Amino acid sequence: MDEKQGKKEHIRLASVVKSVHADLRKKLRSHNGDYETVWHQHCQDQTLLSTYAECMQKLAQEHWTKRSQNRIDWCRLVINEYFLDGGLKKVLQKELKKQTFEENRKQSSSMTADYTENGFTAGGTKTEIAQASPGCRLDNCSPCDIDSYKGNLDNTSITHMCFQETLYSSAKNSSGPETQTCCSVSHEKDDKDCNYGLMLERSNPSSPDIYTEVRLPFEDKIRLLDVGSCYNPFLQFSEFMAIGIDISPAHESVHYCDFLHLETTDPLQVAPDTLSTYLGSLRSPIHRLPRCSFHTVVFSLLLEYLPSPYQRWLCCTKAHELLQHNGLLVIVTPDSHSQHRNAPMMRSWKKAIESMGFSRWRYVKDEHLHCLAFRKTRPAAPPSLLVGDVTPDLLYIPQDLADAAEERAAERSRDPFLQDECEAQEFFQRTWASCRRSFPRTAASHSFNFQ
């Protein structure tokens, strides 16, 4: 196939994929937002699903791989950097430094001198401070007054020195022998001397957290769940124990699974190799998976497939359940515009996903893609806390806004009153523009807002 034919084939395949996405959003509007009905009908259309899967596989394997770095390469690179090349370790070190600093700051604040109008209290001893005022001048004071002021100042200096020494000693004892701290400011002596044992080593093998969190040093294969996998592209990499799931598998290694309706069960309290053996023995179809089972979950070109923001929200919350603590959620979504064109959407996604218990670790705007990686940092917030400006609608895509505008335009065309109103507005706008050209001075003294 020459370059011209390849381009035509690329356009044809992409058109099929986009038409499926657009049809899902159109059906969602026609069903008044009933995403369950729309999704159920979509999953029953096996002919359409097979066509979609075939087109996606051809696009991924025959067209997108021609780029210097495709979406799979980026996902592999960022996952390896996080787990195998020190990314997680750096994050935990930074968190430990911040935690130590905050603890020292709070301890120092509790020991800070209690200033009063005439002095302060430190270590239970109240020391008077000389009051400087316009009426208090040494040349107007008696020798006794001057001696008294000198005594107060000497006592104040001594108390300050003792107080700072107390802060230094207490902070030093609380932060350990490898870190020197004074007045709640932490200074790292040497990276090799820093003690990160609490977060970086298996200091307590009997803790139940060893079954539900990623621990360092990382020695296992990376357990990866590829949602919407199609043909299981991560299976070729030896560092991954890849599980691919899809509603229409295009490869025998991919399991059938409707991720939106996947049931999550209690975490398995087993050794990592036993858990990997269990996941490797899974057979299609998959209806349930244990929570805290995976090191990373990948949504590559998945979220824009779903017609409803609420479905995208459900996918992210389910990924949070399946990830171990410190696990990584990797998201790739298409966008061929410049980085700043849809920057508000990316900020909106960040706000929504971080509210679930994630923290964004990496973001890259590729020529045609947004590439994001979120680290699981805490348990999910209860549904009752998801109020105010944090709603599933934050996970919108540009097509949602375009579809809404198209729907409003269609509604206006169906309503005679709205149509006449729009025509009248356009008439007045044209008339006013003509007046401005004919009578610029008169028009300059008037202003109208046609909206």
228 annotated as belonging to a binding site for a ligand: yes
Parallel, antiparallel, or unpaired: how do β-strands 323-334 and 294-300 relate?
Answer: parallel
Locate the DSSP E strands across 28-140: 114-115, 119-122, 125-128
Please choose, from the candidates 261, 230, 255, 259, the residue with its C-alpha nearest in 3D space to the C-alpha of residue 243.
255
The helix or strand, by DSSP H or E, that contains position 318, with its residue range, turns out to be: helix 309-322
Find how far residue 301's CA is from the centre of its chain: 17
How many whole angstroms separate alpha carbon 135 and alpha carbon 63? 86
φ and ψ at residue 290, rounded to 5 degrees: -75, 145
How many whole angstroms separate alpha carbon 160 and alpha carbon 156? 6
Please choose, from the candidates 369, 368, 348, the residue with its C-alpha nearest in 3D space to the C-alpha of residue 360.
348
What does each C-alpha distance from 74 to 68, 91, 371, 395 come to in angstroms?
A: 11, 20, 8, 22
How many whole angstroms separate alpha carbon 95 and alpha carbon 340? 30
What does each C-alpha distance from 105 to 70, 98, 249 come to in angstroms?
A: 46, 10, 54
**What 3-state class would DSSP assign to 172?**
helix
246 annotated as belonging to a binding site for a ligand: yes
Task: For tokens 């020292």, name the residue.
Answer: 104
Please choose, from the candidates 327, 292, 302, the residue with its C-alpha nearest in 3D space to the C-alpha of residue 246.
302
CB 289 within 8 A of CB 264: yes
Output the known binding site for S-adenosyl-L-methionine: 228, 246
Output the known binding site: 228, 246
